[in-house]
Amino acid sequence: MIETVSILAKGTPYAKIKWSIVGDGVLPKEDLIPKYFDSKGVALTKFRTINPNVRPITVSVEYEDGSEKASETAVFNGPIRPRINVKNIPFDTGATIELYGLIPNSSVDVQPDQYLGYTNFVNKGTLHTDDKGSVYLNFKPIGKVTEHTGRIFSLKVKYKEWDGADSEAIVGSIEVQKRIHAIYDTWKDPASCYTSATLTLTDGIAGEKVDFSGTNLLVGLGQTVPIIQRWDKEFDNSGEAKVVISTTWCTKPLTDTPTFTMRFNTLGVNVTETRAVTFGGGDHERFY
C-alpha cells in the first residue's frame, strides 16, 4: 500500500528547521520541504508510505541547532505481517535477527518450529517489541552438533493485531550455514603406474552427511578401469570427508588424459567441477 500523508508542525515563527523520517516512508524532494516555520509558526510537509503496516513511520522536525525536537508516529490499522531481516545464520559465529512489523511496545512469543541442533536460540520465548515494532532474536554458536536436525527452520510467532486479537504466523525459512572448502589433488606412485585423484572437503561438521554421487574418474586408452579407494558418507571428527579414485597410467604418449569430475552436496552447498589429471600427478587446487 502506498499513501501520501500530511504532517503539520508548530514552533517559533521564522525559525530554521530540519526534517527526518524513520521507517518505511520517504519525504519529498528537499526543495519541497519547508526549511522555516512561517509567520504563524507553522510548517507543513508530506511523506509517502512504503509498506506502512510492516514498519511504523516516525517523522521528526527540529530546530537547526538541535535545541528541540518533536516526533510523530503514523499508525496504520492494516493487518500485522511479521517479517525477518536475515535468513542465514553462520554456524561458527551465530547472528542477531530482527523480527519486525509488529505493534510497537507489545508482547510477542517466538519459538522455533522444530528442535535446533545447529544453533542456540538464546532468547526464545516471550519478548517485548521496541517503539518501532521490532524484537531482536539472538542466535549463538554451539560447540558440537549432537542432533542433526533443524539446520533449516522457521519461527512460530504469536502476536497481537491492532484490535487486540491474538494471531499466529510461521515466519521465514532460516538456514544455518557452514563455510566448507574443497580441494583437488592427484598423486602418482614413483615406483609404479598407480595414479590417484582425490576430492577432500574440509571445515565441515562432524557427523554431517555428504553426498558425493556424480564424482567419477573418466579414463580412456592407456589407463585401467578406475577403482574407488575411499568414499566417505559423512564428515569425520576433524570435519573432513574424502573421495579417492585410482587408475594405472604408465605412459603419456598415445594415451588419453583422464578427467576427474568432483561433485558434492552438503550443508546447503551443491557443487560440480571437472579437472584434467596431470600425467605424473602433482595437481593441487582449492576450488571451493
Torsion angle, alpha carbons of 211, 217, 218, 224, to 10: -140
In CATH, the number for domain 83-177 is: 2.60.40.10
pLDDT, residue 3, reads 59
The arithmetic mean of pLDDT across residues 151-172, rounded, is 94
pLDDT for res 208 = 97
Cα angle, residue 32 at apex, residues 26 and 36 outer, rounded to 5°? 105
Choose between 59 and 174: higher pLDDT: 174
Q: Mean pLDDT over all residues of the chain?
A: 90
Q: Which of 9, 70, 71, 61 is nearest to 38 (CA)?
A: 9
Half-sphere exposure of 67 (CA within 13 A, CB side): 8
| Residues 229-242 pLDDT 10s | 999 999 999 999 99
pLDDT in tens, 122-153: 999 999 999 888 999 999 999 899 999 999 99
Taking Cα atoms as reference points, which of 71, 88, 99 lies closest to residue 152? 88
CA 148: distance to chain centroid?
19
CATH number for 181-286: choose from 2.60.40, 1.10.287, 1.10.760, 1.10.10: 2.60.40
The residue written with cell numbers 504469536 in the block is 158
pTM: 0.73
> Residue 264: phi, psi to the nearest 5?
-145, 150
pLDDT exceeds cutoff 80 at 161:
yes
CA angle 181, 174, 114 (to 5 degrees): 110
Report strand pairing: 42-49 vs 95-100: unpaired
